[in-house]
Chains A and B, each alone.
Chain A
């Protein structure tokens, strides 16, 4: 597609429930990133993929967070046993490369609310 597509757009989960968030990057983009954005804050880096390889997961807040990109295209961010502090917008971005000299294209995000 023309842009980065994320689904669902909104997700309400009960505390303790597992959720899966999907990202369809721009076709041909090698790099894929996940960010978490709390209300009123800038996006915070979670993890980075180059093709199917997860090269950086230093931003994942706990072992309840897991991301995969098995075929180097679509990616899924999974959160197990959700907690209220997981409530945020989860943004996916794709790029031709990793560095700043490549522009990142972001999706509109998935707003997760844990109740």
Chain B
């Protein structure tokens, strides 16, 4: 299972774009990159998934360079309600393994 490294915590302000980068140097050919969001007292929620290049949905964008050794979750114009823990996961046909995630704190 590819190990991921992401910042422990980040602060930003309302209305800003937030980018959280995750390193996964040992990613395998068949591995997908998936991000989950978790609010206090709730289970993790799927945000976005990608394999290469760029993926965008109504919530976020995911940028993956050609070597796939890292990925960046981009949250446009964050609000206070985006304060949460964000997990980067890498894997293929196996169970998902969570790390400690990035605690994102949005300030007014």
Spell out A's residues near B (CB within 8 Å): 4, 33, 35, 41-45, 48, 56, 91-93, 98-101, 103-109, 111
Tell me how far the C-beta of B30 lies from the nearest C-beta in chain A, rounded to whole angstroms.
9
Contact of A41 among B34, B94, B100 (CB under 8 A): B100
- Check B91 against A108 for contact (C-beta < 8 Å): no
Q: CB-CB < 8 A to A92: which residues of B?
A: 43
- Check B87 against A98 for contact (C-beta < 8 Å): no
Interface string of B70-107 (1 = CB under 8 A from A): 00000000000000010101111111111111000000
Q: Which of A44, A106, A107 has the most chain B CB within a 10 Å cutoff?
A: A106
Chain B: interface residue total (CB-CB under 8 A): 26
Q: Is the interface of B mostly helix, strand, loop or mixed?
A: loop
Docked pose: A33 CA to B94 CA in angstroms: 12
Contact of B43 among A44, A48, A91, A103 (CB under 8 A): A91
Docked pose: A56 CA to B95 CA in angstroms: 9
| A93 with B94, Cβ < 8 A, contacts A42-B87, A42-B101, A100-B32 known | no
Docked pose: A101 CA to B50 CA in angstroms: 9
Q: CB-CB < 8 A to B93: which residues of A?
A: 98-101
